[in-house]
Structure 1
Amino acid sequence: MAPTAPDKLVIALSSRALFDLEASHEVFEQQGREAYCRYQIEHENDVLEPGVAFALARKLLGLNEDSRQRVEVILLSRNSADTGLRVFNSINHHELDITRAAFTSGGSPYRYVAPFGAQLFLSADPDDVRAALDAGYAAATIVPSRRRTSGDPGALKIAFDGDAVLFSDDAERIFKEQGLAAFARSEVSAANEPLSGGPFKGFLEALCRIQAEFGQHDCPIRTALVTSRSAPAHERVIRTLRAWNIRIDEALFLGGMAKGEFLRAFGADIFFDDQQTHVGAAAEHVAAGHVPHGVANE
């Protein structure tokens, strides 16, 4: 197999993000490792149902349909090779083009994010996600969601919060420590100063590189910024994205309104936010990932 191309978008998923492994995970939690291993081997020919990130993975892999491999999905799993056989059998059943994997037998798999060249790591394990973020990689904890499959068979739609996700948490830190009025004054005075990049800046840049291969009207990817900011704090965000030369298809400045209904209207395949309350509410409508980064998670 050819090595991973340097300009390819590489996404690393844990097995619990890709498939519904809650029943077997419950065996592990209640009965221990040996019982879990027996359970997985006994059920290795039972196909796993899609998990929260399954629809995202399918749409990402669908970007390769015109014979160019723009995206690769890697499996990073705490399973052993033995227990991981059920996962690969399910991958084959669902006809997902996933061929590379690391099975770590209980060890944290985030160590293999860099060797595989992944720009994003999605896992159901918060500790693995925090370790990946601390090491400088974009990562999010997939949370349980009512939505397991995408309601939109068309474009891949990914939505991001702004501060502490696409951007640094510098502005959010002022809001948390000094209040809304001080935050608004600070953002107005710094409107022409681009914000520093957050953990998901590189992932968005990679999406933009794929978007640049298509015309605006036939692009298979749409992105959205869904932020609690409102005017006048909008200007610095717009100027930051312009300074980065990054394309955002839709920008929603909600001024503190709940994000869930807006994300459903956008048709997001996944939404990334640093605040657990926002992620939990969003998960009622769309797949969501918690980014445990910045002042809100200290």
Structure 2
Amino acid sequence: MKTHLIQAARAALQWRLLLLWCGVTLLPSLVLALPVWQYLNVLSHSVLAPELAVSLNHPALADLIHGFREQGGGVRNGALLSAVLALLLSPLLCGSVITAARSRQTLGFRALWSGGLAEYPRLLRTLIWAIVPVGLALGAAQGLHSLAESHGEKAVLASSAENVALLATIASVVLLAFANLTLDAGRAALAIDKRRSSAVKGWWRGLKLLARYPGAVLGLYLALSLGGLLLAGLLGIARVNVPTGQIVGFIGGLLLTQAIVLVLAWMRSARLFALIALAHADDVRHGGGVAKAAKVKAPAIESIDA
């Protein structure tokens, strides 16, 4: 599995694909940043504006929080619009990754963009279907937290209640991650079969893939996710510690922020690359011939022998 992990990680390092992710995700970021920027502009009228530009003190934070509660409608609306826009753009980005995974050559921006548009309808249906598995995961998470609260009310020691609450939180994260894994497996199943248009059938096929090769699917997905999140976390720590109030710090912070976006884009792409290769190998092994009949080329990385 180590070889295939490296192959998927390398195959996702396509600068055009990553740059496309960075450019597309910049739009919802701007939608969110503009109202926040306007709201923070109230601090420019303070006599302490130069000091506040370097760091916010507790009174300034208290004023911002109080003002947000009364006049934060624009920021809340911007956040909602940004989230909706990001969701609507996500099928386009996933489609570009699928297009890149199918090709054995590095594609240009036009091919990635057109491929993303071609895959958009199917992947949009997958996004809509995501309400079901994600909703089930959220419902289970809510139930776990309710049980943790009930235990906390009866617990004698505060540490016992805190430990149960922590376990409930960890279990909730695992459930949501597993729901996302099944959706990505469904996207991989759709990627190898251009004729399949049903998001539900694609998701079900992804569940079968997970049931046949739980070790390979979970291992690849977990390794790539942990690697990407760890690197993004380190960059985030560096971003928080960048000096403020100077042009060098501003540019450095901006570059680190974009680096975080690129790392997350690589992580998402590498996971799909690995799952598509595994789905293709499963199709060949079980004699379905789906990819061949649909005239879909083998993935850019070698088929994974699970």
Q: TM exceeds 0.5? A: no
As a proportion of its length, which structure holds more helix? Answer: 2
TM-score, normalization: structure 2?
A: 0.22
As a proportion of its length, which structure holds more strand? Answer: 1
Indicate the structure whose relative CO is greater, using CA pairs within 8 Å and at least 6 residues apart: 2
Bigger radius of gyration, 1 or 2? 2
